[in-house]
C-alpha cells in the first residue's frame, strides 16, 4: 500500500490530539455515506485511542435515513435544528476536524461560524483544490477512493490497538458509497487492500451492502420509478441526460434526506450517454445539481465554471439561485456550449 500520511503529518496529528480534551468532527451539507462513515469511524477510533477525550459530531443538516444503522449516528448534532447547542460544542472544542469537504464554504452558515471562532482546524479529505490556508493541518489526497479510506490509514498509523469493529463497518460503508460499489475509477489496488483489512477485522461486507443499498423506503422506490418514467430527459446530440424534480414533486412522495441518493447514476446506464445530472429544487429557493460523467469530460470543471460547485473529475455538484426552469435551461445551454469538448472526450 502506497504511503499516504507522512511522518510529519502523523506527528502533528498526534501532537494536536495529545493536547486536546474535546474534539469536534464536522461534515458537509447534505452528508453522504462517506461523510457520515468517515466521521463515525473517526469518533470511534479517537475514543479508543484516548478514552478520556470528548468527541462531538456536527452535520449542517440531516443525513439520510438509510445510514442510521451505523453505531453512533444517533449522536450527530444537526446544526440546522440545534444551532445554539452545536455552536457551543464547536466553540468549546480544542480542535475541529473537517471531514470530506475541501473548504469551509461547503458548510454554508456553519462554515461562517467555524471561521469566526479561534479553534484550530484540521482537514481530512479527498476532493480537489482544497483551501489549505483554512487549516493548521491537512491530510488531503485526490487519488484516494474516499475520506473513509484516509481515516482508516490515519487511524491505523496512530493506534497501537486494532480499529474497533463499529469504525471498520463505517469505513466500509463510506468506501462502498463513494466508489459506487467499486465501479468508479477512484477504486485503486490500495482501496482493495483496505477492504481486505476491514474483512480481517470482522466486517460483514454483505450485511453492510444490504444496509446501504437494500434499505430504502417504499416512497423512495416510487419516487425513483416516477423520476425514470416521467422526468428523465435524454439529449442525444450532447451524449447527456438529466432528471429534474421540483420541491412539490419531492413532497408528493414524502421525500426524506437521502431518498434521491444515486438518482444521478441511472442515466449513465443508457448507451452513448456520458454525462448525467440530477437537478432538484430546494425549499429555500435555490436549485442543486449533482453531476456524473464517463470518460475524459470533467464535470468538476463544468460545475466550477457554471454552477458555483466542484468535486471530482467524474463526480461533482453545484447550485444556482434561480427557478428550476431557469436552472434546467442553463444546464442544457452549457452542454451545447461544450458540445465539441464533450464529443472530443468520448
% of the chain beyond a pLDDT of 90: 77
Cβ 80 vs Cβ 60: under 8 Å: yes
Assign a CATH topology to domain 7-213.
inorganic pyrophosphatase (n-terminal core) (3.90.1640)
The 10 Å CB-count burial string (b at 16+, else e) for 57-84 is: bbbbeebbbbbebbebbeebbebeeeee
Q: CATH second-level architecture of 218-345?
A: Roll (3.10)
Is the pLDDT score of 184 beyond 90? no
Cβ 290 vs Cβ 317: under 8 Å: yes
- Sequence spans of domains, the chain: 7-213, 218-345
Is the pLDDT score of 282 beyond 70? yes
Distance CA 208, CA 101 (A): 24
% of the chain beyond a pLDDT of 70: 99
**What CA–CA distances, in Å, run from 127 to 90, 101, 141, 144?**
24, 7, 7, 9
Is the pLDDT score of 196 beyond 90? yes
Distance CA 3, CA 207 (A): 30
- pLDDT, residue 180, reads 83
**What CA–CA distances, in Å, run from 253 to 41, 116, 214, 232, 246?**
32, 39, 19, 17, 11
Cβ 24 vs Cβ 97: under 8 Å: yes
Mean pLDDT of 90-113: 94
Look up residue 224 and give its DSSP letter.
Answer: H
- pLDDT, residue 185, reads 63
The cell for 155 is 487511524
Mean pLDDT of 276-287: 91
Confidence of residue 1 (pLDDT cuts 50, 70, 90): low
The cell for 94 is 480544542
Confidence of residue 157 (pLDDT cuts 50, 70, 90): confident
Can you say how many angstroms the Cα of residue 219 is from the centroid of all Cα atoms in its chain?
Answer: 23
Mean pLDDT of 45-65: 95
Here the contacts of 243-249 (C-beta below 8 Å, separation 24 or greater) are 243/267, 243/277, 243/278, 243/279, 244/278, 244/279, 244/280, 244/324, 244/327, 244/328, 245/278, 245/279, 245/280, 245/281, 246/281, 246/324, 247/280, 247/281, 247/282, 247/283
Distance CA 37, CA 61 (A): 16
Q: What is the pLDDT of residues 289-344, one digit of tens each?
A: 999 998 899 999 999 999 998 888 888 999 999 999 999 999 999 999 999 898 88
Question: Where would I find the beta strands (DSSP E) of the chain?
Answer: 22-26, 54-59, 76-78, 95-99, 121-125, 137-140, 232-235, 240-245, 275-281, 287-293, 310-311, 315-320
| Average confidence score pLDDT of the chain | 93
Question: Where would I find the beta strands (DSSP E) of 177-246?
Answer: 232-235, 240-245
CB atoms within 10 A of CB 18: 8
- pLDDT, residue 2, reads 64
Is the pLDDT score of 252 beyond 90? yes
Cβ 315 vs Cβ 321: under 8 Å: no
Per-residue DSSP letters for 304-328? HHHSS-EE-SSEEEEEESS-HHHHH
- pLDDT, residue 43, reads 98
Is the pLDDT score of 8 beyond 90? no
The cell for 122 is 484540521
The cell for 291 is 453531476
Q: What is the pairing mode between strands 232-235 and 137-140?
A: unpaired
- pLDDT, residue 9, reads 86
- pLDDT, residue 159, reads 86
**What CA–CA distances, in Å, run from 221 to 217, 218, 255, 279, 281?**
7, 5, 11, 18, 19
Segment among 119-128, 144-153, 305-314 with least mean pLDDT: 305-314
Mean pLDDT of 188-210: 95
What is the biggest distance separating any 2 CA atoms in the chain, rounded to whole angstroms?
A: 60
Mean pLDDT of 82-99: 97
- pLDDT, residue 304, reads 92
Mean pLDDT of 271-275: 95
Mean pLDDT of 95-118: 94
- pLDDT, residue 57, reads 98
Mean pLDDT of 175-203: 90
Amino acid at each position: 500500500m502506497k504511503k499516504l500520511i507522512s511522518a510529519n503529518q502523523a506527528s502533528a496529528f498526534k501532537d494536536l490530539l495529545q493536547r486536546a480534551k474535546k474534539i469536534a468532527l464536522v461534515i458537509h451539507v447534505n452528508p453522504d455515506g462517506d461523510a457520515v462513515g468517515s466521521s463515525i469511524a473517526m469518533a470511534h477510533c479517537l475514543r479508543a485511542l484516548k478514552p478520556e477525550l470528548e468527541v462531538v459530531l456536527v452535520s449542517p443538516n440531516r443525513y439520510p435515513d438509510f445510514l442510521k444503522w451505523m453505531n453512533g449516528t444517533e449522536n450527530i448534532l444537526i446544526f440546522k435544528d440545534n444551532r445554539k447547542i452545536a455552536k457551543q460544542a464547536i466553540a468549546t472544542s480544542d480542535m475541529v476536524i473537517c471531514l470530506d469537504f475541501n473548504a469551509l464554504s461547503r458548510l454554508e452558515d456553519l462554515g461562517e461560524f467555524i471561521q469566526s471562532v479561534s479553534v484550530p482546524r484540521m482537514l481530512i479529505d479527498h476532493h480537489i483544490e482544497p483551501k489549505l490556508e483554512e487549516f493548521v493541518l491537512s491530510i488531503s489526497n485526490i487519488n484516494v477512493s474516499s475520506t473513509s479510506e484516509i481515516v482508516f490509514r490515519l487511524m491505523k498509523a496512530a493506534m497501537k490497538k486494532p480499529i474497533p469493529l463499529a469504525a471498520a463497518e463505517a469505513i466500509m460503508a463510506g468506501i462502498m458509497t463513494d466508489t459506487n460499489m467499486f465501479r468508479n475509477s477512484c477504486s485503486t489496488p490500495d482501496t482493495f487492500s483496505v477492504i481486505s483489512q476491514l474483512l480481517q477485522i470482522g466486517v460483514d461486507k454483505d450485511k453492510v451492502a444490504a444496509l446501504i443499498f437494500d434499505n430504502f423506503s417504499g416512497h423512495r422506490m416510487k419516487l425513483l420509478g416516477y423520476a425514470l418514467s416521467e422526468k428523465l430527459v435524454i439529449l442525444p446530440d450532447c451524449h447527456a441526460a438529466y432528471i429534474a424534480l421540483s420541491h412539490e414533486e419531492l413532497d408528493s412522495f414524502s421525500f426524506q434526506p437521502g431518498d434521491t441518493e444515486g438518482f444521478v447514476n441511472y442515466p449513465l446506464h443508457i448507451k452513448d450517454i456520458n454525462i448525467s445530472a440530477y437537478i432538484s429544487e430546494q425549499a429555500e429557493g435555490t436549485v442543486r445539481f449533482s453531476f456524473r460523467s464517463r470518460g475524459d469530460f470533467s464535470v468538476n470543471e463544468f460545475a466550477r465554471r457554471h454552477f458555483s460547485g466542484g468535486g471530482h473529475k467524474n463526480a461533482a455538484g453545484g447550485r444556482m439561485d434561480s427557478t428550476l426552469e431557469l436552472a434546467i435551461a442553463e444546464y442544457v445551454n452549457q452542454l451545447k456550449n461544450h458540445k465539441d469538448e464533450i464529443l472530443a472526450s468520448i
